[in-house]
């Protein structure tokens, strides 16, 4: 199997808006190793979502190159090998939880698998809400449904943009234990944006700390040692 590392070389993004140019991401050069989970932390508005959106192929980089193995993000997405959880859950209001999760399979061009869908709904703690509409769910429940939608297609690349922001501490903890197991089994490459240092340390193999806008890397840390938390906190202080 070829390695599917994500290679970013001088990746940068400048938004053109009526009120002027906004430099969101300064030239970023880094590699996200296949099968690894990387947490991206940084101050609000620094460009984290933008980085994820570029890797998902939703936003064209203003300059620099981006390759996932030998593929472009679009090619990966077309194979149904990429899924992304958005900062807002983006559930379709007319579909039930079950329907929204099943949509993940449908959009990835994979055969329907009701059992698998149900299993994931259980895993994210939404058992009993299969037939509920998003409007009947709390913010955190919606985010969990969105996570299930992401996972259902068993993607090679998983992009999670603050997926637990509105999830309560207890569920969050349980998810934090189960998710890594799941994506380790699948060999998924995961990028996780989060505001919680604790979560970053718990879930990921590596933590990327970004500066205020335009985002550039201020610290690139490997988790494992006890000192990491403190190091991340300190880097964040410097970034802000």
Partner 1 sequence: MARWLGLALAIVLWEILARLNAGSFVIAGPIAVADYIYMNTGLLGRALGATFQAAVWGFLWGNLAACCLACLVVLFPRTERVVNVFALLVFCLPLVATGPILRVLYGPGAGPQITLAALAVYYTSYLALLVGLRAVPQSWMDLVQSYGRGSVTTLLQIRLRASVPYLIAALQIGAPVAFLGAMVGEFTGAERGLGVLTLRAMRGLDVDATWAIASIATAVSVLAFQVFGRLGDWLQTDRPTLLLSAAQTKNGPAAWQRVLTAAAIALLVVVVWQVLMDVFGLNRFFAKRPADVWTYLISGSNATAARETLFAALGQTLWLTFPGYFAGLLLGAGLAAAVVILPGVAAAILPVAVALRSVPIITTAPLIVLALGRGSLGTITIVAVMIFFPTLVACLQGLRQTPGQVHELFQTYAASRLRLLRLAQIPAMLPAFFAAARMAVPAALLAATTTEWLATGTGIGNLMALTASTSDYNMLWSAVVVLALIAMVFYMAVEVVEQKVLAVYASEQVRR
**d(Cα 6, Cα 1) in Å, to the nearest integer?**
15
- Pairing relation of β-strands 37-41 and 63-68? unpaired
Q: Which residues of 5-18 are buried (b: 16+ CB within 10 A; e: fewer)?
A: ebebeebbbeeeee
Helix or strand holding residue 79 (H, E): none
Tokens of 217: 């890397």
How near is the Cβ of 20 to ligand ATP at its closest, in Å?
10
76 near partner 1 (CB under 8 A): yes
Residues from 185 through 214 that contact partner 1 (CB under 8 A): none
Task: Determine, following the binding rule CB under 8 A, whether residue 54 of this chain makes contact with partner 1.
Answer: no
Taking the least distance from each CB to partner 1, the nearer of 193 and 207 is: 193
- Kindly compute the dihedral angle of the four CA atoms of residues 199, 201, 206, 208, in this order, to the nearest 10 degrees: 70
Among positions 47, 61, 80, 125, the unique one binding ligand ATP when judged by CB under 6 A: 47
- What do you get for the CA distance between the two ends of the chain, in Å? 41
Distance of alpha carbon 116 from alpha carbon 208, whole angstroms: 33
Which residue among 6, 11, 24, 201 contacts ligand ATP (CB under 6 A)?
Answer: 24
Measured distance CA(61)–CA(78) in Å, rounded: 19
Half-sphere exposure of 166 (CA within 13 A, CB side): 15
Q: Which of 45, 114, 128, 224 binds ligand ATP (CB under 6 A)?
A: 45
**Contacting partner 1 (CB under 8 A), which of 83, 143, 189, 194?**
83
Q: How far is the CB of 196 from partner 1 (least distance, A)?
A: 22
Task: Look up residue 110 and give its two tokens.
Answer: 């994979």
Q: Taking CB under 6 A as the rule, does residue 237 contact ligand ATP?
A: no
CB of 88 to partner 1, least distance (A): 6
* Among partner 1, ligand ATP, Mg ion, none, residue 103 binds (CB under 5-8 Å by kind): partner 1
Contact indicator for 165, 88 with CB cutoff of 8 Å = no
Please select the residue that binds Mg ion; options are 37, 49, 96, 189, rule is CB under 5 A. 49
Least distance CB 105 / partner 1 (angstroms): 10
Q: Which residues bind ligand ATP (CB under 6 A)?
A: 15, 17, 22, 24, 44-50, 87, 213
Q: Which residues bind partner 1 (CB under 8 A)?
A: 53, 56-58, 74-80, 82-84, 86, 88, 90, 92, 94, 103, 106-108, 159
């Amino acid at each position: 199997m070829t390695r599917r590392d994500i290679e970013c070389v001088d990746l940068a993004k400048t938004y053109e808006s009526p009120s002027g140019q906004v430099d969101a991401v300064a030239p970023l050069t880094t590699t996200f190793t296949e099968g690894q989970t990387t947490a991206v932390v940084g101050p609000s508005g620094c460009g984290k979502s933008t980085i994820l959106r570029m890797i998902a192929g939703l936003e064209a980089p203003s300059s620099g190159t981006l390759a996932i193995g030998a593929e472009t993000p679009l090619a990966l997405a077309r194979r149904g090998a990429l899924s992304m959880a958005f900062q807002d859950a983006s559930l379709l209001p007319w579909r039930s939880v079950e329907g929204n999760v099943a949509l993940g399979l449908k959009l990835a061009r994979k055969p329907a698998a009701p059992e698998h869908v149900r299993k994931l709904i259980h895993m994210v703690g939404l058992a009993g809400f299969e037939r509920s509409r998003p409007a009947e769910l709390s913010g955190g429940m919606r985010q969990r449904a969105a996570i299930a939608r992401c996972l259902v297609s068993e993607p090679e690349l998983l992009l999670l943009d603050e997926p637990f922001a509105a999830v309560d501490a207890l569920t969050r903890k349980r998810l934090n234990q189960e998710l890594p197991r799941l994506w380790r089994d699948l060999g998924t490459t995961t990028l996780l944006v989060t505001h919680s240092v604790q979560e970053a340390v718990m879930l990921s193999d590596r933590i990327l700390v970004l500066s205020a806008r335009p985002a550039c890397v201020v610290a690139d840390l490997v988790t494992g040692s006890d000192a990491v938390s403190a190091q991340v906190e300190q880097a964040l202080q410097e970034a802000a």
